[in-house]
Amino acid sequence: MSEIKVASRYAKSLLDLALEEKALEEIKGDMQLFVNTLRANTELQAVVKNPIVPLGKKNNILKAIFGDKIHKVTAAFLKIVVDKGRAEIIYGTAKEFLNQYNQYKNIVTAKVVSAAPLNESARTEIINKVKAVTGGEVILKETVDADLIGGFILTVGDKQLDSSIASSLNRVKKEFSQKVIS
């Protein structure tokens, strides 16, 4: 079974357990802390994934780092996954848990790439339009790319709206080159 499928199943189990224990927000915070910590520390990520490192040592490392900072359910979950010899999927499981949490809470992530930083009114307008279409809460991730010249590219899930000037110029250029050849 692929690592992604296994991570998804473990994440679903943890989400169900978090709901059952009425600790969804705390465990979501724990998973966010875990992802952020491993993302910032590639050495820790390598140790957790390394099959040569003994399981007991991995458990001790995770306990030393996260110890009292995480909910008892999260601590037990991490220990069980490590004890089953599946430590290599913990990071993927944590990321998948956050994705499933967002689906459960109807939170969508919208990515906008613009030629210049968005002002507050443009940001609010984009968020409101995405909310109107998706009916959910919106997390907006912004990136600036001067190569766009102007406009923006908005991506929500697998849908993309490209209203950049660079894209428009490329379309005009392509149409012009096709008409000249014809």
Domain edges within the chain: 3-103, 106-181
Find out whether 25 and 38 touch, Cβ atoms under 8 Å. Answer: no
**Sequence-distant (≥ 6) Cβ neighbours of residue 17 within 8 angstroms:** 73, 77
**Sequence-distant (≥ 6) Cβ neighbours of residue 167 within 8 angstroms:** 148, 151, 153
* Rounded distance between C-alpha atoms, residue 29 and residue 49, angstroms: 22
Amino acid letter at 67? G
Half-sphere CA count of 40, side-chain side, radius 13 A: 6
Find out whether 141 and 126 touch, Cβ atoms under 8 Å. Answer: no
Q: 158: helix, coil or strand? A: coil
Task: Give the pLDDT of residue 63.
Answer: 94
Task: Look up the CATH number of domain 3-103.
Answer: 1.10.520.20
Alpha carbon 81 to its chain's center: 21
Walk along the chain (182 residues) and give the pLDDT tens digit of each residue. Answer: 678 899 999 999 999 999 999 999 999 999 999 999 999 999 999 999 999 999 999 999 999 999 889 999 999 999 999 999 999 999 999 999 999 999 999 999 989 988 889 899 989 988 998 898 888 899 999 999 888 777 788 888 888 877 777 666 667 667 767 766 55
* Rounded distance between C-alpha atoms, residue 112 and residue 90, angstroms: 29
**Sequence-distant (≥ 6) Cβ neighbours of residue 90 within 8 angstroms:** 34, 48, 78, 81, 82
Task: Give the pLDDT of residue 180.
Answer: 60
Burial of 89 (0-12, 13-18, 19+ CB in 10 A): buried
